[in-house]
A and B are shown apart, each in its own frame.
Chain A
């Protein structure tokens, strides 16, 4: 028992040391966002300031940017939850020709560097008249390959009997999906939600290219404009912006922690 205690203390110590290494940069980020300039410069008076936050929160368009970001986030996340369920279900349960190839293509979408498709994609976005609208950063991202992969694996590990029973009771395919599969998939949804949310919330390149009007900008793009000077960065504003924009994601993770772990555990990736 005693040996165990020592081991526990040792572990705790090691983890604490490691987490210090992990937390220092974030503390620095938070700390720097309240500074007028680098510490050690100037006469020391008025070093601490809320100016950076004033720049960001007081920006006329801030409410606009955050609304845009939330609209896009909600649309993309809910689309991914619904669609990856549907597609994952089809891949897990139905038999159809080219299934293997099509599924390989799902994985393929994970592999292509997105930057390379930017020019043709913009060409397409312009041609179908979506340019400079929020749809341009919603529609192409509605079905993410990773989520489809995850859902397929998760549903594949669920017992079929319940679905067959529901079918025997006369439920249609959509009915089966809604009343039998969905309740079982909650943990997997948590993973889909956090994955998509993180990716989407921080997405920068596509919103930058697809959106021209400042009123339609999303938070990361707008923040980068606020923090940039032509010859350098306003570090205070940059750090304040990073703090503000990461808060929602931290909250989401904090609330969904258990579900995320359960979602990955629930046999999702076993096979």
Chain B
């Protein structure tokens, strides 16, 4: 044992700082050993492997010596994962990319120029715009999709409208929505997107575009604030009066149930509606235009582009593969299964699948006039500005201030490019690793010095004595310092930098800029208060509910196992699943509203209402976690000595007095513990928000962790996100400290 302790002791001291660097050597060694005769390329995409694998198999057969490794990436986290991998030099060779992301990736130089490998296909495919920058091609269009107007023919007939004459102009559209709208019966004129930050613009912009408005002009000036946009917004807000506001999947669901007269949606419904609701009589038509003699019908165009990353191991073979997979016969199976998007190959539209259903040809027709959002470096930020503006207007903020804020936001993001001192991120690694190494060594040294000082003589030497607990502490030391403190220090350094994931090897030191920016960041301030409300609102209630449940179960004389399990159930199941269940529960056509309808109370879109969304999440949270604290309290209650109650009974204390003067003080330690743990968890509320509302509507449910997650992975502001996380850490620490002091100091 002595030897073992010694070995571990020295390993910790010596190896750690070297650990990180040596392993990168190891990695390099592994990479070179990989280079056998076969060419291995990784391909990341979003589709079920059952569509992709057969294509790969055929390709591999035709190209011996090539191996394509297929990986499915999830839609909801796909971009995050790609960005993180890229930041760590782990990007795939071939990747599917949403067309609206292209601007950023192209202008950051993350992608390989494949002009000479694909430009001969130019006339056979559509949607080249997002794959192109400065006349060079950085991608290959694979799948394209657009949105059209869906209408319920039955509801049209009921409202006295001609089901064969879908509205062609804004006015007709508005009239139709108004005539159909009957919320008392649960029928709504139009399904309007709300509460989902990243989709709204796809529905709103086509109206602006059709009316001649734009986001950026030829010189990349922000021209969103225009007469055309204001007209459109005016129309849109009128339309809202006859609308059912919800998220996309719930809108599609509502349309499917025959609750919506009109909706703007995509072709994926063709795979679902006939199967799920064979009786639904619906038509599709082109998007309405502003007026007979004004504007034109247009829609949002978007899709999937195949790209090669700069780090691609074998561009020639990779390009050959993308040329292969975009072929019509290889892409059609994907389209035919889910009808999510159509092949970018122009011949596809001659396929019988398209010509057979007249309604599908509306899509091909709309595709001709559909517009792709601007290909711009800052598109992701622009998209946010537009979404925020429209959303704010929808939630009754004055139009002028909405536009003013949008213009200001644009100024902020566009004027930010500054090339300050740059250093290698290698420095961060060294600094953090060195910091950790020094701390470890200092602590170990202190241990030994302490033992030396404590007792110079004795049966065992000071080092041996120190070894005893060092051995026991070692597992925690190792994991804490490597997997916790090192990343934390890295974060601290990052928070003083502008760290660009697109150039991970370079960062620029920016001093306290990130921290200064916090004060001006309205979203940060809003999320801070939301989080505070969440913490103050849920923690006491969850604790009290947990205690109440425990008290009730404890005083139950019969068997209580079943209750215990029932209330504990929510803590067992992933909060993501719970949130998903609640999402449908809270939806306007969900269980809650159906229950309320029994009492004649009119339903409500809980999660898309500015003032109800946060409380709705809080209620779910209380529901989900009370059972866990109940178990803790139950345990504490069983430990209260029975004799105390007997004594109290003799003294004539009533039940409340017994609770007040015996139970409560006896379980105080548990209350302190529960409150502390509960508060810490509440400050970090994230998956609930992520699943239910993504921070919307208008940021009313944005929390700190959600905000920093978005900043880091959607807007790529790692430095700023790190600053927020450190502020949050400090906040939680302070809050818990004060709380513990107050709670445990109360009755001394």
- Which residues does A use to contact B, with CB under 8 Å? 8, 11-12, 14-15, 18-19, 21-26, 28-29, 37-38, 40-43, 79, 82-83, 86-87, 89-90, 94, 96-98, 102, 105-106, 108-124, 126-129, 131, 139-140, 142-143, 146, 148, 172-174, 198, 202, 204, 208-209, 212-214, 220-221, 224-225, 228-233, 235, 238, 242, 245-246, 249-250, 253-254, 257, 260-265, 267, 269-271
Would you give the 0/1 interface string for B83-110, flagging 1 where the beta carbon is closer than 8 Å to chain A?
0110111100000000000000000000
Binds A, one of B357-365, B443-451, B521-529, B598-606: B443-451
Whether B565 is near chain A, meaning CB under 8 Å from some CB there, is yes
Interface positions, chain B 177-195, Cβ under 8 Å from A, are none
Binds A, one of B120-128, B229-237, B383-391, B568-576: B568-576
With contacts A96-B469, A115-B708, A214-B72 taken as known, whether A120 is within 8 angstroms of B565 at the C-beta atoms is no
Provide the residues of chain B in CB contact with A224, threshold 8 Å. Answer: 74, 76
Separation of A11 and B563 alpha carbons in the complex (Å): 12
Separation of A244 and B486 alpha carbons in the complex (Å): 37
Provide the residues of chain B in CB contact with A260, threshold 8 Å. Answer: 631, 635
A202 near B257: Cβ-Cβ < 8 Å: no
A41's closest neighbor in chain B, by CB? Answer: B277
Determine which of B90, B469, B484, B572 lies in contact with A253 in the assembled complex, contact meaning CB atoms within 8 Å.
B572
Q: Mind listing 17 A-B residue pairs with CB under 8 Å?
A: A8-B556, A28-B585, A29-B581, A38-B276, A86-B474, A90-B469, A106-B480, A114-B684, A116-B722, A127-B23, A127-B429, A172-B1, A249-B573, A250-B569, A260-B631, A261-B638, A265-B639
A269 near B669: Cβ-Cβ < 8 Å: yes
Whether B403 is near chain A, meaning CB under 8 Å from some CB there, is no
B87's closest neighbor in chain A, by CB? Answer: A119
Determine which of B20, B85, B567 lies in contact with A19 in the assembled complex, contact meaning CB atoms within 8 Å.
B567
Work out how many contacts link A and B, with CB atoms closer than 8 A. Answer: 313
A265 near B635: Cβ-Cβ < 8 Å: yes
Interface SS majority for chain B = helix
A96 near B450: Cβ-Cβ < 8 Å: yes
Provide the residues of chain A in CB contact with B248, threshold 8 Å. Answer: 231-232
B736 near A111: Cβ-Cβ < 8 Å: yes
Provide the residues of chain B in CB contact with A253, threshold 8 Å. Answer: 565, 568, 572
B479 near A140: Cβ-Cβ < 8 Å: yes
B24 near A228: Cβ-Cβ < 8 Å: no
Separation of A230 and B267 alpha carbons in the complex (Å): 12
Provide the residues of chain A in CB contact with B450, threshold 8 Å. Answer: 96-97
- Which residues does B use to contact A, with CB under 8 Å? 1, 19-20, 23-24, 26-27, 30, 42, 46, 49, 69, 71-72, 74-77, 80-81, 84-85, 87-90, 248-249, 252-253, 256-257, 266, 268, 275-279, 338, 340, 429, 432, 443, 446-447, 450, 466, 468-469, 471-476, 479-480, 482-484, 486-488, 490-491, 494, 549, 552-553, 555-558, 561-578, 580-582, 584-585, 591, 623, 627, 631-632, 634-636, 638-639, 669-670, 673, 677, 680, 683-684, 686-687, 704-705, 708-709, 712, 718, 721-722, 724-725, 728-729, 732-733, 736
B49 near A214: Cβ-Cβ < 8 Å: yes
Determine which of B90, B712, B724 lies in contact with A119 in the assembled complex, contact meaning CB atoms within 8 Å.
B712
Minimum CB–CB distance from B701 to chain A (whole Å) comes to 17
A231 near B268: Cβ-Cβ < 8 Å: yes
Provide the residues of chain A in CB contact with B253, threshold 8 Å. Answer: 38
Determine which of A82, A119, A208, A233 lies in contact with B580 in the assembled complex, contact meaning CB atoms within 8 Å.
A233
Separation of A16 and B248 alpha carbons in the complex (Å): 37
B563 near A113: Cβ-Cβ < 8 Å: no
Separation of A131 and B89 alpha carbons in the complex (Å): 12
A228 near B257: Cβ-Cβ < 8 Å: no
A96 near B635: Cβ-Cβ < 8 Å: no
With contacts A119-B84, A214-B72, A231-B248 taken as known, whether A28 is within 8 angstroms of B591 at the C-beta atoms is yes
The listed residue with most B CB atoms (<10 A of its CB), out of A116, A213, A260, is A116
A11 near B476: Cβ-Cβ < 8 Å: no
Minimum CB–CB distance from B741 to chain A (whole Å) comes to 14
Separation of A172 and B2 alpha carbons in the complex (Å): 11
